[in-house]
Amino acid sequence: MQPKTTILVIDDEEVVLDSCTQVLAGPQCRVLTASNGADGLRLVQEAQPDLVFLDLKMPGLSGFEVLDRIRTLQPLLVVIVITGYATVSSAVEAMKKGAFDFLPKPFTPEELRLITRRGLEHHRLVQEAARLRREKEMLRENFAAIVSHELKSPLAAIQQNLYALTAQLEDKLTEPQKELCQRLKMRLDDLLKLIHSWLRIMSVDPDKLKETFKPVSLAGVVAKALESVQPHATRKAITIETVVAPELPTVQGDEGSLTEVLVNLLNNAVKYSYPNSQVTVTVQPQNSHVLMAVQDRGVGIAPEDLPHLFQDFVRGRAQPEGAGGYGLGLAISRRIVEAHGGTIAVESQPGKGSTFTVRLPVAPATSASGSNPQTQV
């Protein structure tokens, strides 16, 4: 048996309360009424209704005040505004404050039933979406725990034992056996790196990340990222040039996460560049945002790959020899950038290279944080 639906009608006109009760009440629908805003708010908390009809013009607390408080008490509660002085401006204002729909007086029983069905369907969809979000969060947390404890720990133990065993048997192993052990080490390293990437992508929680936000200088982010990527570039004889605009405004964010984004982009740029080529990092203000671009002159990305590039486990088809990875770096970067209220985009031509651009909002009431244009090799 399905649970009863609860509908609350808040209106100072007794005829409206009676007519709504007569039209809507039934075996599967309970109708509660309140003649003023204060009683209505009390019933919202006590009865936890699925749908609220709310008159805008009442003595005491107005309908707009009640709507504001409902949004605070129960942000997901579906509210339909009813009023006898229906105007476009009042309808728009009510919708801006979170009302689902608008029903002017006088209304027919069929109009009331129709808007009630729509409101209850919206309530069902809202609750289903909230349930799915909760399940997704639980899955994320459980998956991270399973990966960490059931996979990472045993593999790390195997890795340590393998290193100890090969050290002890160093003088007894034949060359083919040593090569086999080396391949085992490499495969274990790859698996542990993959698990680390899984855990990292599951741990990017926008709400928790925002708790660490403070004004960040992107000039400092560039310097730290270059320090990390430079050895990789040196091995391929790739020059990294940086051009950071002077008087660069700060952005509101987490320095470590933004550095991770730039390291991911630079590592990809070096990985997919031809030896003896150049990668350019440009940081410049643009209106109320700061743009950070990484340009390479490498293999480029096929047009059919571009729409999917920031999804999990997606890698471009054009892969230079020896390029590894699991297609998670750009997905992690996208999550981090979006948590900062920014965007990340790519432009590319096969055989000519790619440019990744991160667009971040300037920190509010920021003071300029200067950095002279520089070139680093």
Give the model's pLDDT for residue 60: 87
pLDDT of amino acid 375:
41
Helix-helix angle 109-146:175-203, to 10 degrees: 150
Burial-class residue 229 by CB neighbours within 10 Å (0-12, 13-18, 19+): buried
Q: Which residue has the higher pLDDT, 348 or 205?
A: 348
DSSP line for 158-190: HHHHHHHHHHHTTTT--HHHHHHHHHHHHHHHH
- Domain locations in the chain as residue ranges: 5-107, 136-203, 207-361
The arithmetic mean of pLDDT across residues 13-34, rounded, is 93
Q: Which has more pLDDT, 17 or 374? A: 17
pLDDT digits (tens, 9 = 90+) for 110-123: 999 999 999 999 99
Crossing angle between the packed helical segments 255-271 and 218-235, to the nearest 10 degrees: 30
Does position 65 have pLDDT exceeding 50, yes or no? yes
Concatenate the DSSP letters of all residues of 253-270 into one string.
E-HHHHHHHHHHHHHHHH
Structural class in CATH, domain 5-107: alpha beta
Q: How many angstroms separate the CA atoms of 285 and 290, rounded? A: 4
Q: Over 70: is that where the pLDDT of 16 sits?
A: yes
Q: Please check the confidence at residue 126 and state whether its pLDDT lies above 70.
A: yes
DSSP 212: T
pLDDT of residue 210: 83
Least confident among 40-54, 179-193, 339-353: 179-193
Average pLDDT over residues 65-77: 92
pLDDT of residue 374: 46
Distance CA(135)–CA(141), nearest Å, equals 10
Quick check: 334 and 343 in contact, CB under 8 A? no
Distance CA 303, CA 301 (A): 6
pLDDT number for residue 269: 93
Give dist(CA 303, CA 8) in Å, integer.
54
Strand partners, 305: none
Span 207-361: which CATH code? 3.30.565.10
Give every CB contact of residue 337 below 8 A, 6+ residues apart in sequence.
Answer: 261, 343, 344, 358, 360
Q: Which long-range contacts (CB under 8 A, 24 or more apart) does 345-348 make?
A: 346/301, 346/306, 346/309, 348/300, 348/301, 348/306
pLDDT of amino acid 85 = 61
Q: How far is CA 307 from CA 301, 311, 345, 346, in A?
A: 11, 9, 10, 10
Q: What is the mean pLDDT of residues 330-344?
A: 91
Query: Which of residues 197 and 142 earns the better pLDDT score?
Result: 142
Average pLDDT over residues 354-360: 96
Please give the distance of CA 98 from its chain centroid, rounded to a whole number.
23
Give the integer Cα–Cα distance in Å for 94 and 101.
8
Alpha carbon 132 to its chain centroid, in Å, reads 15
Mean pLDDT, to the nearest integer, of 314-338?
69
Task: Look at 45-54, 105-114, 320-329 and tell me which has the smallest mean pLDDT.
Answer: 320-329
| SS3 assignment, position 156 | helix
Q: Kindly indicate the confidence band of residue 2, based on its pLDDT and cuts at 50, 70 and 90.
A: low
Average per-residue pLDDT for the chain: 85
Report if pTM > 0.75.
no
pLDDT exceeds cutoff 80 at 206: no
Please tell me whether residue 354 adopts helix, strand or coil conformation: strand
CA 283 to chain centre: 24
User: Tens of pLDDT along 242-274?
Assistant: 999 988 999 999 898 899 899 999 999 999 999
**131-168 pLDDT tens trace:** 888 887 777 667 666 666 677 778 888 888 888 888 88
